[in-house]
Amino acid sequence: MDRRSFLKTSAIGGGAAATTALAAPAYAAGHRTLTMVTSWGRGLAGVFDAAMKTADTINAMSDGTLTVEVKAAGELVGAFEVFDAVTSGQADMYHAADYYFINQHPGFAFFTGVPFGMTAQELNNWYYHGNGRALHDELGEIFGLKSFLAGNTGTQAGGWFRKEITGPEDFNGLKFRMPGLGGRVLGEMGASVQNLPGAEVYQALASGAIDGTEWIGPWADEKAGFQEITKFYYTSGMHEPAAGLSVATNLDVFNDLSPAHQAMIESASAYANVWNLSQYMNNNGSALARLQAGGVQVLEFPDSVWSAMFEASKAVYGEFMGDELFKKINDDYFASMDDSSGWITNSESAYRTQRDRVRG
């Protein structure tokens, strides 16, 4: 099915793509240049790094035959306009969190993070050794995209709040920034959910336009400066137990590349996926300690909130089960998660519990 047919027949199709005709690839004496647009402000900690790592690795591997030029959000198109820019041919590829595009198809959420879903290791298991990558291809083909995971933030924090959360009722009327299906869950709980690009979140929180926000985790959140505004920080959330980031190339452009150049994009994306996750995990612990030393209160949601979130998440998933491809991805995703979790719980999780106990 092509994208035009899908959008005509689907009740969940998003906004129309830009009308710019597919741009001809740039060639010069055997050299090719691809334009990568991103959802990230230039220099935004971690996420923009992942985009640059992907591009820089492709550029180094190609030995001058392929160059990827990175455009930050707003430099060519807006943060949430990258999808249409690539499907229309205005740009060649994007780096983003695919759950920004659930209005195009809710199945994209699974390749970033979904409520009560996979951790980073579980996501990689599904993607590289289960059916995840094939399902990413199947979904992408509808829109003329060839996609690869190209970054991961690890388990994201529950977020920053102006006041302590004591029960589910505290979300009623709360103005909160959270994209993806996680945002839909908070909406089910009565929150007024905002979907803002990362570069705009600090100002929205500082001005009172929002009452709270999730972003990523201690290192990126500290870099963003949210601790300057509020001191209530919840370090575990249901919304993104792992947040995969993706590179998506216009499918016609990708198919026109040499097999070697295609392999470079795939390999560079996989490298960025591991490199970026390690970047966050290496920096989060010390950043959390600094936040706490600066007066931030590190909190966990009470059990009543977790239970209410789970019930709301079931309602959100149910909204989309009538879509055949969403259900196909959902069922395969959670089956893989259950398989992976069974061993991880009995091995790594059990080991870490005992390691931490005996080391004090």
Instruction: Let me know if residue 314 belongs to a domain.
Output: no
Among 344, 353, 277, 323, which Cα is nearest to 103's? 323
| For residues 330-351, average pLDDT | 96
| pLDDT band (50, 70, 90) for residue 4 | very low
Residue among 157, 150, 129 nearest 275 (CA): 150
pLDDT (mean) for 298-322: 98
Q: How confident is the model at residue 1 (pLDDT cuts 50, 70, 90)?
A: very low
As given in the structure block, the two tokens for residue 324 are 């055949």
pLDDT of residue 17: 38
Kindly report, residue by residue over 46-75, the tens digit of the pLDDT: 999 999 999 999 999 999 999 999 999 999
Mean pLDDT across the stretch 202-208? 97
* Within-domain flag for 348: no
Residue 137 included in any domain: yes
The pLDDT-based confidence of 24 (bands split at 50, 70, 90) is very low
Which residues are registered as beta bridge partners of 246? 96, 149
Q: If you average pLDDT over residues 218-244, what whole number do you get? A: 97
Q: CB pairs under 8 A, 24+ apart, for 331-338? A: 332/126, 332/130, 332/131, 332/132, 332/135, 333/110, 333/114, 333/117, 333/118, 333/126, 333/132, 334/117, 336/118, 336/122, 336/125, 336/126, 336/130, 336/131, 336/132, 337/117, 337/118, 337/122, 337/126
**Bridge partners, residue 94, by sequence:** 37, 248
| 165 in a structural domain | no
Residue 331 clears pLDDT 50, i.e. is over it: yes
Beta bridge partners of 70: 36
* Whether residue 35 has pLDDT greater than 50: yes
Residue 357: per-residue pLDDT: 95
Residue 108's domain comprises: 3-152+241-282
Question: What mean pLDDT is predicted for residues 16-36?
Answer: 60
pLDDT tens digit string along 269-280?
Answer: 999 999 999 999
Its pTM stands at 0.91
Q: Model confidence at 40, in pLDDT bands (50, 70, 90)?
A: very high
Residue 72 lies in a domain: yes
Residue 225 in domain: no
Quick one: pLDDT at residue 38? 98
Residue among 359, 238, 221 at smallest CA distance from 310? 238
Please indicate, yes or no, if residue 217 is contained in any of the structural domains: no
Question: Stretch 209-235: mean pLDDT, rounded?
Answer: 98
The whole-chain average pLDDT of the chain stands at: 93
Instruction: For the chain, give the number of residues.
Output: 360
Give the C-alpha separation, 269 to 87, whole Å: 19
Does 232 map to a domain? no
What is the percent of the chain where pLDDT is above 70? 92
Task: Please answer whether residues 180 and 238 qualify as being in contact, where contact means their C-beta atoms are separated by less than 8 angstroms.
Answer: no
Q: What is the average pLDDT across 263-273?
A: 98
Average pLDDT over residues 343-353: 95
Is the pLDDT confidence value at 22 over 80? no
What pLDDT sits at residue 30?
A: 67
Residue 11 confidence class, pLDDT cut points 50, 70, 90:
very low
121-166 pLDDT, tens digit per residue, is 999 999 999 999 999 999 999 999 999 999 999 999 999 999 999 9
In SS3 terms, 20-55 reads as: CCCCCCEEECCEEEEEEEECCCCCCCCHHHHHHHHH
Instruction: Please tell me the total count of domains within the chain.
Output: 1
Q: From CA 74, how far away is CA 69, in angstroms rounded?
A: 15
pLDDT at residue 326 is higher than 60: yes
Residue 270: which CATH number? 3.40.190.170
